[in-house]
Amino acid sequence: MSNNTENPNDYPRRILVAVTGLSPQIVTETLYALAVAPSGAAFVPTEIHLITTRSGAEKARLALLSEEPGWFHRLRQDYALPPIRFAAETIHVLEDADGRPLEDIRSPDDNRRAADGITALIRQFTADPDCALHVSIAGGRKTMGFFLGYALSLYGRPQDQLSHVLVSEPFESSIGFYYPTPSSRVIEMPGGRLVDSAQAQVTLAELPFVSLRHGLPEALLTGLASYNQTVAAARRALAPARLQIDLATRRIEAAGKVFALPPAELALLSVFARRAQHGEAALPAPSKELPDSDWKQRYLVELRWIAGPLKDLDDTERALRKGMDGGYFSAHLSKLRKLLRAELGPAAEPYLVSDGGSRPRRYSLGLRPTAVGYGDIETAARQ
């Protein structure tokens, strides 16, 4: 099934994702706040995924999933929670460049590997339309929490949520506290003080986030891009639109990406780019019934720049012998739009030739004159 709702509880697959270091309590504290004592509607995960280091994974396995103390199993039994998939295979250990489990995150390379691993997992989960994520950034090193929150900002959808768990004093500093128990359970604090875990208060602070997903090309939503590549794509999508056209190499640079276009479509784009560069008015399309000689002329001028002075354009000139008609114009405009969207995804919108949305249809490229340039792309980039 596929959902159109933003209510996380309406999704058949509900995932709690958390990062932890040497404090696996984050998992049970967050699960308690979500499913047992929520401030709003309860969110009962169907599965839990933990992102951690090698030592963090070992501690989580022993503290949460063992027969004794088995705090995850205890919490489910104490509060009669339904089955939740949480096992060794849902504990994801970050790896170094050689594929070995990370013991800690201390170097710039460790940071990059952690960012890539966290991003890949969030990308994978958000690719499932039948899933809602609840992401907790309460545990682990600060960089892990940052990468997890930022990954959700890059890929998150309306049904996904981000939070930080809050535990009342003095329990937040106790290594023996895992969740508020339904009956009295005395634990010893550092210094010998005794407290009752049944008296603890655990709540979630929801952290609103801005989703940048709409600005990412489809290839990054489904592919294997690194964290840095994904961030760079989001930056390009949010940056002011700028178009550089290199007719000699038949390439353009748009939304920070350089790619080639076929001569016919590049010529059509260049017609509108020159008009935008000079602040000229929008143009009506050629008539469907009556070939337009003015359109033929402005189009062939651009095509000759692209083809070069010695290139044979007989086939194109024969096709446009009487002028350009509406069918020829529409076919190449449609192909141009498809090519730009395939390359740029949602970031293509500023670079699409638009008909203005009202009648009579008049076509233009909605870029400022200073946002359009011609010439060598590499030279323009250096400048």
Length of the chain: 383
**CATH number assigned to the domain comprising residue 20:** 3.40.50.10770
pLDDT tens figures, 289-298: 889 999 999 9
Q: Note the pLDDT of residue 173.
A: 75
Residue 217 banded pLDDT, cuts 50, 70, 90: low
Write down the pLDDT at residue 1: 40
Spatial strand order in the sheet of 251-254: 257-260, 251-254, 243-246, 372-374
Supply the pLDDT for residue 309. Answer: 59
pLDDT at 372 over 80: yes
Judged by average pLDDT, the poorest of 14-18, 131-135, 235-239, 318-322 is: 235-239
pLDDT band for position 85 (cuts 50, 70, 90): very high
For the chain, the domain total comes to: 2
Whether 255 is covered by a domain: the verdict is: yes
Nearest to 33 by CA among 16, 8, 46, 53: 16
Of 25-29, 149-153, 172-176, the one with minimum mean pLDDT is: 172-176
Which is higher by pLDDT, 39 or 380?
Answer: 39
Provide DSSP, 56-91. HHHHHIIIIISSSS-HHHHHHHHTTPPP-B-SGGGE
Same domain, yes or no: 316 and 375: yes
The Cα 380–Cα 383 span in angstroms is: 5
Asked, for residue 3, whether it belongs to a domain, the answer is no
Alpha carbon 49 to chain centroid, angstroms = 19
Residue 216 structural domain: 8-233
Same domain (yes/no): 30, 134: yes
199 domain-assigned:
yes
215 in a domain, yes or no? Answer: yes
Q: Are 175 and 134 spatial neighbours (Cβ–Cβ below 8 Å)? A: no
Q: Do 270 and 295 belong together in one domain?
A: yes
pLDDT the model gives residue 383: 55
Q: How many percent of the chain have pLDDT more than 90?
A: 59
**What pLDDT shows up at residue 308?**
75
Is residue 216 over pLDDT 70? no
Mean pLDDT of 234-254: 86
Question: What does the pLDDT read at residue 126?
Answer: 93
- In this structure, the number of other CB atoms found within 10 A of the CB of residue 381 comes to 11
Decide: pTM greater than 0.75.
no
Q: Which residue has the higher pLDDT, 341 or 379?
A: 341
**Whether the predicted pLDDT of 270 surpasses 80:** yes
Least reliable range by pLDDT among 2-11, 105-114, 122-131, 324-333: 2-11
pLDDT, residue 273, reads: 97
Q: Are residues 224 and 275 both part of a single domain? A: no
Task: Tell me: do 206 and 308 sit in the same domain.
Answer: no
Query: Measured over all CA atoms, what is the biggest interatomic distance in the chain, rounded to whole angstroms?
Result: 96
Q: Which of 200, 233, 266 is the last residue of a domain?
A: 233
Whether residue 108 has a cis bond before it, omega within 30° of 0: no
Classified as helix, coil or strand, 47 is strand
Q: Give the pairing of strands 47-52 and 131-136.
A: unpaired
Position 2 scores a pLDDT of: 45
Q: Is residue 358 part of a domain?
A: yes
Query: Does 52 share its domain with 165?
Result: yes
**What is residue 203's predicted lDDT score, i.e. its pLDDT?**
93
Backbone angles phi, psi at 359, to 5 degrees: -95, 145
**Structural domain includes residue 182:** yes
CA–CA distance, 383 with 361 (Å, rounded to integer):
37
- Residue 58 forms part of a structural domain: yes
SS (H, E, C) 161-205: EEEEEEECCCHHHCCCCCCCCCCCCEEECCCCCEEEHHHCCEEEE
- Are residues 364 and 272 part of one domain? yes
Cis peptide before 8 (omega within 30 of 0): no
The sign of the torsion formed by the CA atoms of 38, 39, 41, 45 equals: negative
Residue that finishes a domain, picked among 178, 208, 233: 233
Of the three residues 233, 256, 280, the one that is the final residue of a domain is 233
223 and 247 within one domain: no
Mean pLDDT estimate for the chain: 88
75: its two tokens: 């919490």
| pLDDT bracket for residue 275 (50, 70, 90) | very high
312 and 346 within one domain: yes
Q: CA 123, CA 137: separation in Å to the nearest integer?
A: 17
Supply the pLDDT for residue 233: 67
| Own/partner long-range contacts of 333-340 (Cβ < 8 Å, ≥24 apart) | 333/268, 333/363, 335/262, 335/264, 335/265, 336/261, 336/265, 336/268, 336/269, 339/261, 339/262, 339/265, 340/254
Residue 206 and residue 269 in one domain: no
Model pLDDT, residue 224: 65
Q: State whether the Cα torsion 285-289-294-296 is positive or negative.
A: positive
Do 366 and 308 lie in a common domain?
Answer: yes
Residue type at 13 in one-letter notation: R
Point out the least confidently predicted range of 189-203, 267-281, 310-324.
310-324
Peptide bond into 170 cis (omega under 30): yes
**pLDDT tens per residue, range 89-115:** 999 999 987 888 888 877 888 888 888
pLDDT of residue 221: 62
Answer yes or no: is 377 within a domain: yes
Residues 94 and 178 in one domain: yes
Structure-token match 């535990």, residue found: 167
